Amino acid sequence: MTTAQPISAHKIVELNDVFRPSKSLGQEAWSRLIRNKASVFGMIIIGFFIFLAAFASVISPMDPLKLHGGKKFLPPPFDAGITNIKSEPEFLLGTDSLGRDVLSRTIYGARVSMVVGFLPTAIILLMGTTIGMLAGYVGGRVDNLLMRLTDVIYAFPDLLFFIIVMVSLRDTFIGQLMNGLILLFAALAIVNWVGVARLVRGQVLSLKQKEFVEAARCIGVKDSRIMFRHILPNSLGPLIVSAAFTIPGLIITEAILGYLGVGLRPSTDSTDFFITSWGALMLDGQTAINSQPYMLLTPAVCVALVVLAFTFLGDGLRDALDPRMRGTQ
């Protein structure tokens, strides 16, 4: 975003200050990150939604499953909308087609989006890093196999793959687990680990030629130790950035699948942890776009906010972890 700025006086002093206690790379990156207003904003939003997801049962004003008879499609108190239905003050964002509180349901929906964002990403990182590192370090056949596999997976339009998997395996045993979430996680992970593996492989290929790896090899360090202690920490930066951009992609995917009716199955069992998702809420809300638009707007705004927050954080992380990349888009 900024061009090469003239080095200001205090920076020169800082550079010369040899007695300054040295900071680790992580601390440096962190201090750069929290100077970036957009990413701090992003972190606050993400933190807020994680908080909502974790304490949904305490925060939500009402039971998200309770049907309020005769109070269907109530508009929120602040916006009577274009219908003649009288709003009630206790339903802050109105009620849905069955008379359930929209706000409470949206708060519970945060659980699915947060879990869908973070858990598959963890699996993807673990799988992708391990396989990518092996392919890059060992090379040869393993590497070739990985590259052919990535070619195939890249050829498949992601969203279509998710849809096909969710549609056809929904009624099987695995599709029933946790209202279909397990199947969703598996589908997301299968497609996305490849990108991480390619990224890590590229990193390993370039790092493997570096002097510090050669030095480690000279003093007889074992291969596994070189991979995990010398190469992995040096490729963490791009990995973290790619994770920050993977998470919003997964959240959008879940919302789209939910909207198509092939994502999480909304639950009616109050003992379930995952009751509904933002995508499923939007599917419900689509039918009432005139009478109760907040059924649609509330989850839509939440999706947009979370995704925007992660984009800001990802941009900030990229600048913070690799200062050379600063300003490039």
Partner 1 sequence: MTTYLIRRLFWLIPVIITVSAVTFIIMRSAPGGPWDTDAERRQVDAATAKSLAAYYGLDKPMWRQFYAYVIGDTNSQTKEYVCGMICGNLGPSYRQRGRTVQDILFAAPEGKTFWQSRFGYSIRLGVMALAMAVFIGIPIGIIAALKQNTIADYAALFIATSGISVPSFVLAIFLIIIFASRLHWVDIVVDDWTQIKYWFMPMIVLGFGTLAFTARLTRSAMLEVMRQDYVRTARAKGLAERAVVFIHMLKNALIPVITILGPALAGLVTGSFIIETMFSFPGMGRAYVQAIGQRDYSMIMGTTLVYALLVAVANLSVDIIYVFIDPRIRLEE
DSSP result, 67-92: --TT-TTPPPTT--TTS-PPP-TT-T
**Selected binder of partner 1 within 197, 207, 231, 262 (CB under 8 A):** 262
Q: By C-beta, is 142 or 159 nearer to partner 1?
A: 159
Q: Quick one: CA dihedral 187, 189, 192, 195, positive or negative?
A: negative
CB 246 within 8 A of CB 234: no
- Residues in 156-185 at the binding interface with partner 1, rule: CB under 8 A: 156-157, 159-161, 163-165, 167-169, 171-172
Find residue 101's DSSP bridge partners: 95
Is there binding between residue 8 and partner 1 (CB under 8 A)?
A: no
Q: How far, CA to CA in Å, does 73 sit from each of 81, 83, 268, 275, 289?
A: 11, 10, 19, 20, 10
Is there binding between residue 304 and partner 1 (CB under 8 A)?
A: yes
On the CB side of 186, CA atoms within 13 Å amount to 12
**Selected binder of partner 1 within 2, 8, 22, 84 (CB under 8 A):** 2
Is there binding between residue 297 and partner 1 (CB under 8 A)?
A: yes
Closest by CA to 240, choosing from 306, 309, 318, is 318
**Selected binder of partner 1 within 181, 191, 296, 320 (CB under 8 A):** 296
**Selected binder of partner 1 within 27, 31, 270, 286 (CB under 8 A):** 286
On the CB side of 120, CA atoms within 13 Å amount to 27
Cβ at position 119, least distance to partner 1 in Å: 20
Residues engaged in binding partner 1 (CB under 8 A): 1-3, 82, 151-152, 155-157, 159-161, 163-165, 167-169, 171-172, 248, 252, 255-256, 259-262, 282, 286, 289-290, 293, 296-297, 300-301, 303-304, 307-308, 310-312, 315, 328-329
